[in-house]
Amino acid sequence: MNNKVKTIEKMDWTALVREYGVDGKRLLPWDGVALPFGGAYCVVRAKTSSLAHVNEPKGEQEMFICIKGAATVYIGLDPVDVNEGDVVFIPAGVNHYVDNTHVQDFHMYSIWWDANTVKDYVNKKEASQA
């Protein structure tokens, strides 16, 4: 194993940044590890909502893995109540946001990808194996 590659990211709860109306920390990708997706740990605070948005770049898809608490995810105009353990898929080009009307914070992990990111990953992998 290459000792120069970081293999774990410890959570630093003091490093959360306000983005898209949630407190979060972008965790993927990280230096030295090629991945076909990005990821972030997100906290939608009690009685707040994330910003409604359509993912960019065009064609980017997203998945939420619900970790703690409960919330309502709006995918287009459709509300979906979610709880810890649930997984939500956001298709490309669809407006979405998370509404937390509860008194407890809602924690989730977000993963996003698009065709170009995946193609770049595959090309780099193939080139490194040639």
CATH code at position 95:
2.60.120.10
The CA-atom distances, in angstroms, between 19 and each of 4, 11, 107, 126 are: 30, 17, 14, 34
What pLDDT does residue 20 have?
96
Q: Which two tokens stand for residue 12?
A: 């630093």
What pLDDT does residue 7 have?
84
The CA-atom distances, in angstroms, between 73 and each of 14, 64, 94 are: 26, 10, 12
Q: In which residue are the tokens 């040639």 written?
A: 130
Handedness of CA 123, 65, 22, 5 (dihedral sign): negative
Nearest to 82 by CA among 114, 44, 53: 44
What pLDDT does residue 31 have?
80
Q: Is residue 59 part of a domain?
A: yes
What pLDDT does residue 3 have?
61
Q: Is residue 9 part of a domain?
A: no
pLDDT means per 10 residues, the chain with 130 residues, are 74 95 93 89 98 96 98 97 98 98 98 94 85
What pLDDT does residue 64 have?
98
Q: Is residue 61 part of a domain?
A: yes
Domain interval for residue 116? 14-129
Query: Which SS3 state, helix, strand or coil, does residue 9 take?
Result: coil
What pLDDT does residue 2 have?
52
Q: Is residue 1 part of a domain?
A: no
Q: Is residue 72 part of a domain?
A: yes
Total number of domains in the chain: 1
From CA 28, how far away is CA 112, in angstroms rounded?
Answer: 10
| Region for residue 127 given its phi and psi (left: phi exceeds 0; alpha: psi -120 to 50; beta: otherwise) | alpha
From CA 12, how far away is CA 26, in angstroms rounded?
Answer: 11
